[in-house]
Chain A
Amino acid sequence: MNKPKYLYKSEESFKVFEFTSEGSKGEIRKLVQFSETGTENVYNLAFGDFDENTQEINDFSVTNNGDSQKVLTTVASTVYAFIDKHPEAMIFATGSTNARTRLYRIGITNNLTEISKDFVVFGLMKNGNHWEHFTVGVEYEAFLISKKENI
């Protein structure tokens, strides 16, 4: 993906990343985490603003820093980095709100050709009872991404 993104840093297991969003609201530190779930090889992707004062994460806030696309592209890049380190991993992602989930769907749609070169993407149907291959124009509740070799 050659779209604009922030430089980011990680720790050695590539499960936690950080970068700084820069925009009209100033500099905001963002953390991305891939957490093990109860399902083998499935990791939950989440990211949010880190408040230096409270030392807490907020993934519900609407930062409105004017760089949402750049933030999403940066987070997408961390997925590549994480899976490069953990090739058998499946990445689960959903938004903290319906609007956020829709934003992720739009991001996947806009980059589907590029993503599909290396990954397979599944969407969880809105009734929440089965996965299907990601289809443009369909509303999903969550997403699951894995390297194509894992099928």
Chain B
Amino acid sequence: MKTIDKLNNSKIPVITFNKKLEQFREVVLFPEKLEKANEILSKVGIPENLKR
């Protein structure tokens, strides 16, 4: 369990879960945005520094 100091200094807030959000996990909510991302990535790829 994190100490109070670690929690206070964390860049990530304490997150609560909503089980109802699981219905969206495998659904693409933004299909046009994803399509655009895939178009760009297939054309340009990722930066050389990030390739393994």
List the interface of chain A (C-beta within 8 A of B).
Answer: 1, 5, 7-18, 31, 33, 35, 37-39, 42, 44, 46, 48, 57, 59, 77, 80-81, 84, 90, 92, 94, 96, 118, 120, 122, 124, 128-131, 141-142, 144, 146, 150-151
Contact (Cβ within 8 A) B29 A46: yes
Given contacts A57-B29, A80-B11, 12 further A-B contacts (CB under 8 A): A7-B16, A11-B25, A16-B29, A18-B18, A33-B24, A37-B38, A44-B30, A44-B34, A46-B29, A94-B37, A118-B11, A150-B50
A114, B11: Cα distance in complex, Å:
10
- Beyond A77-B11, A77-B12, A84-B12, is A39–B41 a contact (Cβ under 8 Å)? yes
* Cβ B24 vs Cβ A131 within 8 A: no
A-B contact count (CB 8 A): 121
Q: 13 A-B pairs, CB-CB below 8 angstroms?
A: A7-B13, A9-B17, A14-B15, A15-B25, A18-B21, A38-B38, A44-B37, A46-B33, A46-B34, A118-B11, A144-B50, A150-B50, A151-B49
Contacts of B17 in A (CB 8 A): 9-12
Supposing A39-B46, A44-B34, A57-B29 touch, asked if A81 and B15 sit within 8 A by C-beta, the answer is: yes
- Interface residue ranges, B against A (CB under 8 Å): 11-13, 15-19, 21-22, 24-25, 28-30, 32-34, 36-38, 40-47, 49-50
